[in-house]
Amino acid sequence: MSRNLPVNPGRISADIEALSNITEPGHPWTRRAFSPLFLEGRAYLEARMQAIGLETRIDASGNLIGRREGAKPGSGIIMLGSHSDTVPDGGRFDGIAGVAAALEVARALREQEIHLDHDLEIVDFLAEEVSIFGVSCIGSRGMTGQLPQAWLSRTVEGRDLAEAIAEVGGSPGVLTHENKPDIAGFLELHIEQGPILETEHKDIGIVTAISGITRIEITVDGRADHAGTTPMESRADALVAASQLVLDIRNAASELAKTPGHFAATVGEFRIEPNAANVVPSRVVLLIDGRAEIRADMEAFCHWLDGHTQKLALAFGVTIAPPNRISDNFPTASDKGLLSTLERACETVGAKHRFMASGAGHDTAWIARVAPAAMIFVPCREGRSHSPDEWAENDNIALGAAVLFEAVREMDRNLIKEKGDGTHTG
C-alpha cells in the first residue's frame, strides 16, 4: 500500500492469521461461541490487549473488553469492536477483521503517544453469530440491557444459556441489574459481505443504517392424493401453490429493491408434507427472511403478502393461513454526527467511499439503540461471506483501521462538547 497510514498493516494481518489458525480441524474457519476453540481465541485476544497496556475484563454479558483510561473521567467511553466467533465453516474475516482493526487503533494511539480525554474500550462481543442456542448478538444485547430474560433458560444438550455465559466469564445473574456503560460513541469495522464496494472500486462503505429483519412463516394446506391416479385438474397441490408464491415473492421484492433504500426477501426454509414421491403434497411451510432499510417498505411488502396469499389460495384450491410474523426487528439508523466524522476521516486518509445500508445484522444495531453508533465496511472478494472462500485484502482492512483511527481522534475532540451542549444528532 502506497499510502502513509497511521496504523501498521502487518500487525493487523498477524492477528487475523493467528485467529484463523484457531479452528476446527477440517472445518475452516470454525470457532463457534461457547466452544473450547472460542475460549482459545479469547485468550489470544486478551493477551494482545494486555500487551499494549489495556486493562482487560469480562463483563456480565460475557464480552471481552480492553480498557484504556482517558484524561477526563466521566466523559464517557469511545468504544470500538466486533466479534471473534464464526458460523460453522465460516469466514476468516467476518467479525475478526473488526476486532483486529480496533486493536490496531489502540496500539497506534499508544505508539504515537496520543492521549485521549475519553476512556477507550476495545470489545470482542459474545456470540454475534447465531449460536448453538439459536439466538444471536448475545453480548451486545446484554451490554445494553436488551437481552430477553427468557433467553437465559434456552437449553441445548443439558446446558442453558445462563450457564454458557458464566462459563466464558460472564455473570448472567446480574445482567438485568448491571448499569449500562456510558458510551459516548461506538464504531465497528466489518467486511461488506456483498459485492458493491468491489464492483464500484470503493475503499470504504459508510453504513447509514442496518436493515430491519422480519421473518414470516406461511403455511399452505392442500390435500394429499395418489400421485398416479388423481387427475391433474382435481388436485389441491400445496407445493404448486407454494412454488408460485415463492416466485411472486421474488418478483415483489425485486420491485421494492428498485426504490430508494435496501430491500431483500428470501424464502430460505421450505418444508413439504408428506414428502413422498407418489403423494400429492398436502402441506408446505415456508419461511421468508425480509430485510428493509426503510420500515415503510417492509410494511408495504407485508400488506401485499396478506392479500396475495388469499388470491393464490383461491386460484389453486388450497388454504393459506394468514402470514405469521415470527420475528420483526425495525431498521436502525446510524448516528448522523458519526457518519460525518467517518466521511471526514475517509477524506483525511484518501479513502474512496460511498454511503450504503447494511442488509446483514451487526452488534452495532444494538449499541445504536442506546448510544451514538456507526460502522464502516471494507470490500471482500466477490462479496463472498459465511463461506470458507471469504477473503478481504489486508491493505483494505488496514485502510479501514486508518479511518477508525482518524475518526476516534475527532470523536475525542468533539463528543465532550456535544454531550455538554446537547448537539448529539443520533
3-state SS track over the chain: CCCCCCCCHHHHHHHHHHHHCCCCCCCCCCCCCCCHHHHHHHHHHHHHHHHCCCEEEECCCCCEEEEECCCCCCCCEEEEEEECCCCCCCCCCCCHHHHHHHHHHHHHHHHCCCCCCCEEEEEEECCCCCCCCCCCCHHHHHHCCCCCHHHHHCEECCEEHHHHHHHCCCCHHHCCCCCCCCEEEEEEEEECCCCHHHHHCCCEEEEEEECEEEEEEEEEECCCCECCCCCHHHCCCHHHHHHHHHHHHHHHHHHHHCCCCCEEEEEEEEEEECCCCCECCCEEEEEEEEEECCHHHHHHHHHHHHHHHHHHHHHHCCEECCCEEEEECCCEECCHHHHHHHHHHHHHHCCCEEEEEECCCCHHHHHCCCCCEEEEEECCHHHCCCCCCCCCCHHHHHHHHHHHHHHHHHHHHHHHHHHHHCCCCC
Question: Residue 226: which CATH number?
Answer: 3.30.70.360
Confidence of residue 421 (pLDDT cuts 50, 70, 90): low
Give a yes or no: residue 2 inside a domain: no
Confidence of residue 125 (pLDDT cuts 50, 70, 90): very high
Q: Residue 338, Cα to own-chain centre: how many angstroms?
A: 19
Reply yes or no on whether the pLDDT at 416 is more than 80: no
For residues 392-408, give the mean pLDDT: 98
314 and 343 fall within a common domain: no
96 and 129 fall within a common domain: yes
222 and 260 fall within a common domain: yes
Give a yes or no: residue 298 inside a domain: yes
> What gap in Å lies between CA 400 and CA 98, rounded to an integer?
9
90 and 230 fall within a common domain: no
Confidence of residue 223 (pLDDT cuts 50, 70, 90): very high
pTM (predicted TM-score)? 0.91
Q: What is the pLDDT of residues 263-294, one digit of tens each?
A: 999 999 999 999 999 999 999 999 999 999 99
For residues 244-252, give the mean pLDDT: 98
206 and 216 fall within a common domain: no
101 and 157 fall within a common domain: yes
Give a yes or no: residue 3 inside a domain: no
| Res 179: pLDDT | 72
Give a yes or no: residue 70 inside a domain: yes
Give a yes or no: residue 364 inside a domain: yes
| Res 104: pLDDT | 98
Q: What is the pLDDT of residues 344-391, one digit of tens each?
A: 999 999 999 999 999 999 999 999 999 999 999 999 999 999 999 999
Q: What is the pLDDT of residues 137-155, one digit of tens each?
A: 999 999 999 999 999 999 9
> What gap in Å lies between CA 176 and CA 144, rounded to an integer?
10
| Res 422: pLDDT | 57
Question: Residue 63: which CATH number?
Answer: 3.40.630.10
| Res 90: pLDDT | 87
| Res 358: pLDDT | 97
Reply yes or no on whether the pLDDT at 426 is more than 70: no
Q: Which of 328, 363, 388 is the last residue of a domain?
A: 328
Give a yes or no: residue 284 inside a domain: yes
For residues 37-44, give the mean pLDDT: 98
170 and 94 fall within a common domain: yes
| Res 415: pLDDT | 84
| Res 175: pLDDT | 82
| Res 10: pLDDT | 98
53 and 181 fall within a common domain: yes
User: How many separate domains does the chain show?
Assistant: 2
| Res 163: pLDDT | 97
241 and 134 fall within a common domain: no
Reply yes or no on whether the pLDDT at 419 is more than 70: no
Give a yes or no: residue 275 inside a domain: yes
344 and 196 fall within a common domain: yes
How much is the mean pLDDT over the chain?
95
Domain around 390: 9-210+332-421
Q: What is the pLDDT of residues 69-110, one digit of tens each?
A: 999 999 999 999 999 999 999 889 999 999 999 999 999 999
37 and 177 fall within a common domain: yes
| Res 3: pLDDT | 75
120 and 185 fall within a common domain: yes
Reply yes or no on whether the pLDDT at 424 is more than 80: no
Give a yes or no: residue 4 inside a domain: no
For residues 109-123, give the mean pLDDT: 98
Q: Which of 296, 328, 360 is the last residue of a domain?
A: 328
Q: Which of 328, 352, 379 is the last residue of a domain?
A: 328
Confidence of residue 2 (pLDDT cuts 50, 70, 90): low
Percent of the chain clearing pLDDT 90 (strictly above): 93
